[in-house]
């Protein structure tokens, strides 16, 4: 997006993301602050100054939830549904329970991905297709329709801050992702 839109030319842009060093050995090597991949500050024809700041890189998961509780920041609905990480609902690193949950809350998406596995004769998991994975898994417990709809919405419409803060089911749970 930054590479292909004129509104970023001859401007200074800061990209802020939430990768944490604790998440993986690869992420532990990321710099906290550096020029972004979209940066072209020394370009002759096109100048695009873009920095990347990983604001929580040094923080533990415990510290993140502590800060959210302290300031009463409303956790995203997907954490309330039990997702442990929020890169994508149908993460290629998802486990059997995550895939069973995907099928329960979005069967059309599940079918589409399952059909792709058949069409391309290639599975997301190394030894099983996602239909086989869900046979071993169980959908996350206590998923409610309000959180399901908000998690899948294209616009975030919840309050950013809450009066009563509750640690979500997905906190400290396993979530897909490389290690």
Q: Convert the pLDDT of each residue in 90-103 to its tens digit.
A: 988 899 999 999 99
Q: 25 in a domain, yes or no? A: yes
Q: 176 in a domain, yes or no? A: no
- Length of the chain in residues, anyone? 179
pTM (2 d.p.): 0.83
If DSSP codes are grouped into helix, strand and coil, which group holds residue 88? Answer: coil
Q: 35 in a domain, yes or no? A: yes
Q: Which pLDDT value is given to residue 179?
A: 39
Q: 109 in a domain, yes or no? A: no
Q: 87 in a domain, yes or no? A: no
Q: 139 in a domain, yes or no? A: no
Structural domain for 49, as ranges: 1-59
Please, how many CA atoms are within 13 Å of residue 146, restricted to the half-sphere of its CB? 4
Rounded Cα distance, 88 and 102, in Å: 11
Reply yes or no on whether the pLDDT at 75 is more than 80: yes
86 band by pLDDT with thresholds 50, 70 and 90: confident
Strand order of the sheet with strand 33-35?
12-17, 49-54, 33-35
Q: 20 in a domain, yes or no? A: yes
Rounded Cα distance, 54 and 62, in Å: 17
Measure CA 80 to chain center: 14
pLDDT tens-digit readout, 115-156: 999 999 999 998 999 999 999 999 999 999 999 999 999 999
Number of domains in the chain: 1
Q: What is the DSSP letter of 37?
A: T
Q: What is the DSSP letter of 41?
A: T
């Amino acid at each position: 997006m930054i590479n292909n839109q004129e509104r970023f030319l001859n401007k200074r842009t800061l990209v802020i993301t939430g990768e944490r060093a604790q998440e993986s050995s690869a992420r532990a090597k990321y710099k906290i602050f550096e020029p972004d991949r979209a940066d072209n500050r020394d370009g002759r024809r096109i100048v695009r100054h873009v920095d990347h700041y990983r604001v929580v890189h040094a923080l533990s998961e415990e510290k993140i939830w502590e800060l959210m509780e302290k300031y009463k920041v409303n956790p995203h609905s997907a954490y309330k549904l039990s997702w442990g990480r929020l890169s994508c609902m149908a993460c290629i690193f998802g486990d059997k329970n995550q895939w069973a949950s995907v099928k329960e809350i979005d069967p059309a998406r599940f079918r589409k991905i399952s059909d792709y596995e058949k069409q391309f004769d290639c599975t997301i998991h190394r030894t099983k297709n996602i239909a086989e994975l869900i046979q071993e898994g169980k959908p996350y417990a206590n998923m409610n329709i309000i959180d399901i709809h908000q998690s899948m919405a294209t616009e975030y419409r919840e309050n950013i801050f809450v009066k009563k803060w509750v640690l979500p089911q997905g906190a400290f749970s396993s979530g897909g992702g490389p290690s």
